[in-house]
Amino acid sequence: MLADLAAKAAHLLPPEAAHVATVRALSKALGVPAKPPAFPTNIAAVLPKSGLKLASPVGLAAGFDKNCEAPEAMARFGFGFVECGTVTPKPQPGNPKPRVFRLTEDRAVINRMGFNNFGLEFFVRRLAKYSHLVPIGANVGANKDSEDRIADYVTGINAVAPYADYITINISSPNTPGLRGLQDKASLAALLSRCADADRKAKPVFLKVAPDLDAEAVSDICGVVKAEGAWLAGLIISNTTLARPESLKSAERGEAGGLSGAPLFHPSTEVLRLFARQLGGAFDLIGAGGIASGADAYAKIRAGANAVQLYSMMVYEGPGLALRVARELSHCLEKDGLATLFEAVSKDL
C-alpha cells in the first residue's frame, strides 16, 4: 500500500524523472516487501513450449527496468516473472527529451524513449547477480546506428543466455526508425535464420511483435515463424501502438511515440486472438497491453495467452497492481468453475 501511494505521489514529478527515481529506489530495496507473496494455486502456470513454471501468470513487461536494476524488488511485489530491457549491445542515450507523456484522462502513456540503456556489459553484470526469485527474461534490441541490426540481436542473445531464464527478441518498438521493418516476411526470415545459430544455452526465446498488424501481416508472420522459427518458444503480443483512437482526451494525445495503457487493451487483445487462431497452440503466447484488472488478464488468457505482462497501468495503480490482478484472476476462474488457469487458455476461440 505504501509503495502504491508513493507511485501516485510520483505524479508530482515529470514522467521520466518519476520513472528514474522509482527504479533507483527499488534497486536499493526502499519500500520493497520482505518476500514474494503467496498466490492462489489455481493460477499457477506452466508455459508448455518454453517449460517456464510460474507461480503467477502476471509478469512485468520490458521497459520498466531497462538496465536490470530492480528485478528482485519487482518479484517481491507479486510479479510471477520479470522481463528487463530492452538492452542494446552498445550504450545509447535514446531520443531527445521530453519523451514520456502521461495521458491521465485516458489512463495511458506515450513514450518515444528510443532504447535508452547502459548497454550489454552493465546489463549482464546486473543480470548475473539476480537471485531468481521468479523467472527473469532479458529483452534484447538493436542499436539505432547499427550497420547490421540482426548481428546486434545475435550478440544480445549470446550475452544474456547464460543468466536469463528466457530471452525476448524485440522487433516491435516504434521508436527506433526502421526497426519494425524486421516484421516483414523476408527480413523476419533472415532474422530468425541467423538467430537460430546464436548460442542460446537452450534458453527459451520469444519474439515480441507490434499491435499495428492487420490479418494479412499476422498471417505472414505466422507463416515465417512456423517455417523459420520452430525453435522459438513463443510470441509476446504486443508492444505499444502508433494508432491514436479518436476517444483520446488528453492534451498530449498528439505526441509522437508508442501509446500504451488502457486504450491499447482491446486492439492488442484482438491481435493476440488472430495469432492464437493461426498458431493453434504450437507456441506459447504472452499477452500484453492495457491490463489493469484480473478481468483484463482473464480476457487475454481466454483469447489465447498462456501468461500476461503489464507495465504502463502501474503508473496509475502502483506496483501493488500485479498481486491484485493475480487475485482477481483467481476469482474469475472460480466464478466460471475452472479449476486451473490451463482450462481458460483459448477458451473463447
| 268's grid cell | 492488442
Residue labelled with grid coordinates 495511458: 108
* Dihedral sign for Cα atoms in the order 237, 108, 164, 38: negative
In angstroms, the CA 72 to CA 97 distance is 29
Q: What burial class does residue 230 get, using C-beta atoms within 10 Å of its C-beta: 0-12 exposed, 13-18 middle, 19+ buried?
A: exposed
| 253's grid cell | 494525445
Q: What burial class does residue 332 get, using C-beta atoms within 10 Å of its C-beta: 0-12 exposed, 13-18 middle, 19+ buried?
A: buried
In angstroms, the CA 332 to CA 24 distance is 35
Q: Is 173 a catalytic residue?
A: yes
Q: Which position among 27, 173, 268, 312 bears the catalytic label?
A: 173
User: Which of 163, 121, 114, 122 has the alpha carbon at shortest distance from 143?
Assistant: 114
In angstroms, the CA 149 to CA 140 distance is 11
The catalytic residues are: 173
